[in-house]
Amino acid sequence: MDSNRESSPGTPPKALLATVRRILGPLVRLFIARQVTFPQLAELLKQVYVAEAEREFALDEKKQSASRIHLLTGVHRKDVRRLRGAAVTDEAPPKTVSLAGQIIARWTADPRFVDEKKRPIPLPRQSDKEPCFEELVQAVCKQDVRTRAVLEELVRLRVVDVVGGEVRLLMEAFVPEKGLEEKIYYLGRNVADHIAAAANNVQGGEPPFPERSVYYGGLSDDAVAELKDMGTESGMEVLQRVNRRALELKKSTKGKGRRRMNFGLYFFSEPVQDREEDGHGA
């Protein structure tokens, strides 16, 4: 008998529990480092269980009851009643994330702000005759903002530099060197979407989302460094192509579409204690 299969309707697959533990390992290391205690996490998990059961597992045309949520989640009825409808933590991105991300996306995709090789061009701070940084900010913000304040914030985040009156883009994707709030936001958005895509595929969602990787063990430090550089360079090329096309499509719908997408890239390496398989994964 397959040990990973459910032995009864109430028993989850052992393989799933092992996978959950593997996923939680890096998160728990982060939690401990940032003083998130187990009681805090346990309370948060109760909130998430109740919210997801209420939102995703309601029966057709029937109001979800506290008893059914209890049966689905194992959360005590009194906690279900307490947590139902509880205010959800604001998941809006920090203003610096929203602004910096949009400016980089526009600067690397809009034909007015790139050269013939699709590379972002240096922009004068102001100009009536050529594309300039002020025009870029106005195209993104769509409201009355001080271009100087935006520039100062982007310089602080090391997104741009100012040389001889020109504003130059230092990165073609927003990976903040400073600002814990910004880094935490991207952790939540990107990891949640990656897991959502993989979970959809495990559940047999059709059509499946692309979710692929290349894995090798038994590599030297130099080999990993070369592969990281290769993956970063080729990955950024793909991201920029998707970015340019996404901007074109958003303009064509005038921002009236009701769906979102997230296409990502990651690379990870670490030393291993035991020899792992020298294979590659899809």
| Per-residue pLDDT in tens (0 to 9) along the chain, 282 residues | 444 444 455 688 899 999 999 999 999 999 999 999 999 999 999 999 999 998 888 888 788 889 999 999 999 999 999 998 775 665 666 666 777 888 888 999 999 999 998 889 999 999 988 899 999 998 888 666 788 888 988 888 888 999 988 999 987 666 666 667 778 888 889 999 999 999 999 999 999 999 999 999 999 999 999 999 999 999 989 998 999 999 889 888 877 888 999 999 999 999 987 655 555 555
CA atoms 228, 232, 238, 242: torsion sign: positive
Is residue 236 exposed (0-12), middle (13-18) or buried (19+ Cβ within 10 Å)?
A: middle
Q: What is the pLDDT of residue 61?
A: 76
Q: What is the pLDDT of residue 5?
A: 44
Q: What is the pLDDT of residue 253?
A: 85
CA distance 235 to 229: 10
Q: What is the pLDDT of residue 146?
A: 83
**Residues in Cβ contact with 64 at an 8 Å cutoff, skipping those fewer than 6 apart:** 53, 54, 57, 58
pTM equals: 0.76
Can you name the residues that pair with 169 across neighbouring β-strands? 160
Q: How far apart are the first and last CA of the chain?
A: 27
Using CA atoms, how far residue 165 sits from 123, 158, 184, in Å, is 9, 17, 33
Q: What is the pLDDT of residue 145?
A: 74
CA distance 177 to 96: 13
